[in-house]
Amino acid sequence: MAREIELTQGQVALVDDEDYERIIDQGPWFADWNAKRKVYYASTRTRRKDGHKKKYMHRLIMDAPANKQVDHKNKCTLDNRKDNLRICTQSENMSNRGPTRANTSGYKGVYFCTWVNRWRAGIRKNGKTYHLGRFDTPEEAAEAYNHVAMEYHGEFAVLNDIPDNMS
């Protein structure tokens, strides 16, 4: 069962009932706005001799090692229930993101090539970009991306939702 923890700025974080007391005792908890990603994270601050240190709720719940990240499977960064969290590498965490703000196609991994007047599909794995081809429609490029995304990213893959009449 999930419990709510009230944050600042009118936000609420979800945690498992079994984690509630341990997490609430480490508060007060804040809704920490990440301007780059345009999402909130639940955080608290601890006082140290050299200043304050920020702690994120999802990292505390998962007891994440410093060299790893914690991914929110459903991309809701205030849903800190254990079944929504998983420890991962930075590369895996980046795989579980949707299209960037600069994307014009609406599909992850699909961009328009003005120099050839076609849609391009590409994917990144371990810091390297792979070209998947050029296509007449963004939907065809999205299908190519989806096919390779499962192979490259497995459970971290974010697949494009392509309308049935397009595929």
pLDDT score of 147: 93
Check pLDDT > 60 for residue 103: yes
Q: Does 167 have pLDDT greater than 60? A: no
Q: What is the pLDDT of residues 32-62, one digit of tens each?
A: 999 888 899 999 987 767 767 889 999 999 9
Query: Which residues in the chain are classed under CATH 3.90.75?
Result: 2-88
* Correct CATH for 92-166 of 3.40.50.720, 3.40.50.150, 3.30.730.10, 3.40.50.2000: 3.30.730.10
- Which pLDDT band, with edges at 50, 70 and 90, does 16 fall under? very high
Cα distances from 3 to residues 19, 76, 143, 158, in angstroms, run 9, 15, 39, 28
In this prediction the pTM is: 0.77
Burial 3-14, CB ≥16 within 10 A → b, else e? bebebeeebebb
Overall fold of domain 2-88: Homing Intron 3 (I-Ppo) Encoded Endonuclease; Chain A (3.90.75)
**pLDDT tens digits, 56-99:** 999 999 999 999 999 999 989 999 999 999 999 988 888 877 77
pLDDT at 101: 73
Give the Å distances, CA to CA, from 64 to 41, 74, 79: 16, 19, 16
Tokens matching residue 14: 């979800």
Amino acid at position 117, single letter: N
In percent, the amount of the chain with pLDDT more than 70 equals 96
